[in-house]
Chains A and B, each alone.
Chain A
Amino acid sequence: MTNCSSFSNYVARLHQFMREATQGFAPGSVPRPGWLPALEGTPLAEPARSGAGDIPPAARFGARPAGRPVSRPDTFDLTFGLLARELFALQFAHNAPYRQFCEARGITPRTGADWTALPAVPTAAFKDQELTSLGPGERTAVFYSSGTTEHRHSRHFHCAESLAVYEASLWPWFAAHLLAGIEPGERIPGRDPLGLGLSLCCLTPPPTRAPHSSLAHMFEVVRRNLAQPASAFVGQADPTGTWTLDLEAVVEVFQRAEADRQPLLVLGTAFSFVHLLDALEGRSKKFRLAGESRVMETGGYKGRARVIPKPELHAAIARQLGVRPTHIVCEYGMCELSSQAYDTAPGAPQRQHPARVLRFPPWARVQVISPDTQREVAEGETGLIRVCDLANVHSIMAIQTEDLGIRRGAGFELIGRAALTEPRGCSLLGRELCH
């Protein structure tokens, strides 16, 4: 039996859980009006009362229309816990570097720790060890973390089964946040299967030019599910792997959308937006996109563009692209994860808290961990973001990021990369000295 097949039962149960949690919200269906507002409008968790990782049911399962509970919330908690336990046992058995780490910590499947107490692997360790349960022959794809060429990259190995999980995980949560608020019209198979009337513009290279980018792969899944043409990708990758924009192509896509009054869905990294806005400014070009146009912005800069604070970047996007500020959505994801967090959805009611609170889907849970005590911080306090992602089937479920965030109910507010906030803290696990 290969490692991959050992996970099949788990994967089947996970798919079922994801379907239940999102009510079969998959390609072919559209976000129901009110789907996300139910999530946004709920009060935040009471951290003192609930245990570590407890999430208020309504915030967790916004997918449930009011008055029609699919399942009792404690059943979901239970399912999450059981799946986490099952996946931990599988990863412990089939992932030797992780097993050694857990044994060094004295935690094994027999110790019966719940998901909040499982050893979390730091993202940097993915640069150092092959943290996968897939044998070399089983790996069909690998995603690398972005970064300059001198840095070593994190590696997340995939097989067909884990890619399918990745895609099943990313779509419903993406759709819930980026496709919300549009009244579906006529569905046209092969052209507009969801009847949303959106056209797509991805500021990354296509996956054929960036085969190791989980982000390009994610955007490709979105493109496929929306049946958009390959020309939706307007980014390029030069031979060194540096991403650039085909500015002519961007302008053409934007001009066409503007002229046709067709809402545009623009997906990109923060640095690609900075490049785009700088280039447009250089040409004194501005757009006024159709009202339901929306933007997803993700990720840091990693030295590839001048750094602009988020509110400023969003204001510039709104000003220069003519997108409503309420229709700019932040995404938080990384190659080491298979699920993503989002902070809002177009049409969602005004945020109760001025901060942008990011939330993962029900199959990935976040903890904000004090770097000092290694325990979860209290509501409103700052710590390192840790994610327990049930969709991380063949790598590691419990991921310790290097990102600092503030605990906000079931979600978190992103502050930034710890290494970047430290004046003399060099990200020196590689072979370079920053000063």
Chain B
Amino acid sequence: MNLPNFFLADLPPEAILQPSMIREACQCLRRNRRQYLLERSTADVIAALDEVARRWLDPGDRFRRLALDGGPRATGFAPATLVSGLETFFGQLTAEHLQALVRQDLGHLRRLDALSASGDEASARHAALAWGPELLGHVTAGQLPVPALMSMVLGLLVRSAQFVKCASGASLIPRLFGHSLYALEPKLAACLEIAEWRGGHHELEGALFDEADCLTATGSDEALAAIRQRLPPRVRFLGYGHRVSFGYVTNAAMTGAQEHRVAARAAADVVAWNQLGCLSPHVIYIERGPQACAEGFAELLAGELAKREETEPRGSVSVETAAVIASRRAFYEVRAANLRETRHWFSPAGTHWTVIYEADPLFQASCLHRFVYVKDVPDLDTALQGAEAVRGRVSTVGLAATDEEAAPLAVRLARWGVTRVCPLGRMQSPPLGWRHDGRPSLGDLVTWTDWEQ
């Protein structure tokens, strides 16, 4: 892949990063922001992002092709998984959605451009201006490219210079996104730096932490706590810890031929990004009743996963990952041979997909890579009791329910602490305005100036 050296992540692998390089890059980013970004309007930035996304949706686009050529080796995702995940993301990245996001989080489309007022504010003779941090740092974790891309989008909207530190081996797609922006708007891309190093490199990280005005990070609770401890007090920190998600299917949602459709939607959620995101379901709870049989549903889900494997194969995994899946499967095989309340369905060869049915409502964290539990519960409250151990760490619940059932269930889930409820089948495709872990993504980045006239 021949890409010009725009970013630190473009340097050849033998190049060794030094803390001074990070500091210099940050100073350069600040300069470029003053020159090229600060005076750009929201409409301008949105138009650029809309155009970049439009290009990524074009199968002939150079950067998209590079992502699909190099992505499978770099990220471990099969081309079909990458296509589907990237198309879902870029499909959301439209001018309309971006405008809605600004309005939702900041109350006015021009809030970042000038002192502006919504209706209520205007009648109270108030106005306000919001602005983003001068230098925004991102520390991303894991192989999923979308969170890093979304971070960059948000940073551009608030006109911050940005330094994106990717997990080792995870910079390819963020880099290609950066290059695609470069091709369209080199000045905007000049306010972006992308680098990659193995987490725990204290000197490099220290240089970034010292320079940043605001830092976002994803990772385990321990990793986030460690970062928080090392940040200077003036730096605003937005940490996104690991979250888990599950599905809930009501008995009424399974009437007639719906069962197959619901199973296909559950399979879509398991297949998306190979279940590796916080929004992917570990468990699908099935409400017991005359229509619904969790065991039968598990079998249907297994059939759907087998079908999806043909069109959207999971791809290979490391021997360590395969070993975890194989060990977990073997455990359930022995249990299933001895307990009627446990059953299992495995992909016939390899570890490509696994469905475990258990009557026990206890939430089980999956070992992911398309390994899902189906559990039988009399009602939502029982499912929530089973998930008590992960309460406060549940991101998304994918719901399959009738229209009448959905609203009260969503309220119950909200009261329990779930931060997102969506239809089953759309768990891994949140809208652009999604509040990450229940927080306004754009709103958390900005600082306000209120003007009382």
Q: In the complex, what residues of B have CB within 8 A of residue A103's CB?
A: 337
Q: Are A97 and B365 in contact (CB under 8 A)?
A: no
CB within 8 A of B334: which of A101, A374, A421? A101
At the interface, yes or no: A122 with Cβ under 8 Å from chain B? yes
Shortest CB-to-CB span from B387 to chain A, Å, is 10
Task: Give CA–CA (A424, B334) in the complex, Å.
Answer: 24
Task: Give CA–CA (A370, B409) in the complex, Å.
Answer: 44
Known: A371-B322, A372-B322, A433-B393. A384 touches B335 (CB 8 A): no
Known: A100-B337, A418-B327, A435-B242. A372 touches B351 (CB 8 A): yes
Q: In the complex, what residues of A have CB within 8 A of residue B241's CB?
A: 435
Q: Are A104 and B336 in contact (CB under 8 A)?
A: yes
Q: Are B331 and A122 in contact (CB under 8 A)?
A: yes
Stretch at the interface among A124-132, A181-189, A279-287, A357-365: A124-132
Task: Give CA–CA (A120, B351) in the complex, Å.
Answer: 18
Q: Are A422 and B321 in contact (CB under 8 A)?
A: yes
Q: Are A384 and B320 in contact (CB under 8 A)?
A: no
At the interface, yes or no: B411 with Cβ under 8 Å from chain A? no
What 1/0 mask marks residues of chain B from 308 to 339 whose CB sits below 8 Å from any chain A CB? 00000000000111111111101101111110
How many residues of A are counted as interface, with CB atoms below 8 angstroms from the partner's CB atoms? 38
Q: Are A418 and B320 in contact (CB under 8 A)?
A: yes
Q: Are A101 and B338 in contact (CB under 8 A)?
A: yes
Q: In the complex, what residues of A have CB within 8 A of residue B349's CB?
A: 373
Q: Are B320 and A428 in contact (CB under 8 A)?
A: no
At the interface, yes or no: B406 with Cβ under 8 Å from chain A? no
At the interface, yes or no: A402 with Cβ under 8 Å from chain B? yes
Main secondary structure of the interface of B (DSSP, over half): helix
Q: Are A371 and B326 in contact (CB under 8 A)?
A: yes
Known: A104-B333, A425-B367, A426-B365. A404 touches B319 (CB 8 A): yes
Task: Give CA–CA (A296, B333) in the complex, Å.
Answer: 36
At the interface, yes or no: B389 with Cβ under 8 Å from chain A? yes
At the interface, yes or no: A431 with Cβ under 8 Å from chain B? yes
Give residues 366-424 of A contacting B (CB, 8 Å). Answer: 370-374, 382-384, 400, 402, 404, 418-419, 421-422, 424
Task: Give CA–CA (A371, B333) in the complex, Å.
Answer: 15
Q: Are B331 and A435 in contact (CB under 8 A)?
A: no
Known: A433-B389, A433-B393, A435-B221. A121 touches B334 (CB 8 A): yes
At the interface, yes or no: B368 with Cβ under 8 Å from chain A? yes
Q: In the complex, what residues of B have CB within 8 A of residue A125's CB?
A: 330-331, 334-335
Q: Are B335 and A382 in contact (CB under 8 A)?
A: no
Shortest CB-to-CB span from A105 to chain B, Å, is 8
Q: Are A400 and B330 in contact (CB under 8 A)?
A: yes
Task: Give CA–CA (A428, B368) in the complex, Å.
Answer: 12
Give residues 356-375 of B contacting A (CB, 8 Å). Answer: 362, 364-365, 367-368
Residue of A with least CB distance to B368: A424
At the interface, yes or no: A74 with Cβ under 8 Å from chain B? no
Task: Give CA–CA (A418, B220) in the complex, Å.
Answer: 19
Q: In the complex, what residues of B have CB within 8 A of residue A371's CB?
A: 319, 322-323, 325-327, 351
At the interface, yes or no: B377 with Cβ under 8 Å from chain A? no
Give residues 199-241 of A contacting B (CB, 8 Å). Answer: none
Q: Are A129 and B334 in contact (CB under 8 A)?
A: yes
Task: Give CA–CA (A117, B319) in the complex, Å.
Answer: 22
At the interface, yes or no: B45 with Cβ under 8 Å from chain A? no
Residue of B with least CB distance to A126: B334
Which has the most chain B C-beta neighbours within 10 Å: A104, A421, A435? Answer: A435
At the interface, yes or no: A432 with Cβ under 8 Å from chain B? yes
Q: Are B320 and A404 in contact (CB under 8 A)?
A: yes
Q: Are A429 and B331 in contact (CB under 8 A)?
A: yes
Q: In the complex, what residues of B have CB within 8 A of residue A120's CB?
A: 330
Residue of A with least CB distance to B389: A433
Give residues 278-331 of B contacting A (CB, 8 Å). Answer: 319-328, 330-331
Q: Are B327 and A384 in contact (CB under 8 A)?
A: yes
At the interface, yes or no: B350 with Cβ under 8 Å from chain A? yes
Task: Give CA–CA (A383, B351) in the complex, Å.
Answer: 14
Known: A371-B319, A382-B319, A435-B220. A422 touches B334 (CB 8 A): no
CB within 8 A of B244: which of A104, A129, A384, A433? A433
Residue of A with least CB distance to B322: A371
Q: In the complex, what residues of B have CB within 8 A of residue A101's CB?
A: 333-334, 337-338
Known: A424-B368, A431-B389. A419 touches B337 (CB 8 A): no
Q: In the complex, what residues of B have CB within 8 A of residue A105's CB?
A: 333
Task: Give CA–CA (A374, B350) in the complex, Å.
Answer: 8
Task: Give CA–CA (A285, B352) in the complex, Å.
Answer: 53
Which has the most chain B C-beta neighbours within 10 Å: A103, A105, A429, A434? Answer: A429
Residue of A with least CB distance to B243: A435
Q: Are B320 and A422 in contact (CB under 8 A)?
A: yes
CB within 8 A of B350: which of A128, A373, A419? A373
Which has the most chain A C-beta neighbours within 10 Å: B221, B322, B350? Answer: B322
Q: Are B323 and A402 in contact (CB under 8 A)?
A: yes
CB within 8 A of A433: which of B319, B321, B336, B390? B390
Give residues 276-328 of A contacting B (CB, 8 Å). Answer: none
Residue of A with least CB distance to B349: A373
Q: In the complex, what residues of B have CB within 8 A of residue A124's CB?
A: 327, 330-331
Task: Give CA–CA (A125, B321) in the complex, Å.
Answer: 19
Residue of B with least CB distance to A383: B319
Residue of A with least CB distance to B319: A382
Q: In the complex, what residues of B have CB within 8 A of residue A372's CB?
A: 319, 322, 326, 350-351
Q: In the complex, what residues of A have CB within 8 A of residue B328's CB?
A: 429
Shortest CB-to-CB span from A353 to chain B, Å, is 20
Residue of B with least CB distance to A396: B334
Shortest CB-to-CB span from B386 to chain A, Å, is 10
Given A125-B330, A422-B324, 13 other A-B residues pairs in contact with their CB atoms under 8 A: A101-B333, A101-B334, A101-B338, A124-B331, A371-B319, A371-B351, A421-B324, A422-B320, A422-B321, A429-B328, A431-B389, A432-B389, A434-B365
A-B CB contact pairs (8 Å), 13 listed: A97-B334, A101-B333, A122-B331, A129-B335, A374-B326, A404-B320, A422-B367, A425-B321, A428-B367, A431-B362, A431-B389, A433-B244, A435-B393
Closest 6 CB pairs of A and B: A371-B326, A418-B323, A122-B330, A371-B322, A435-B242, A421-B320
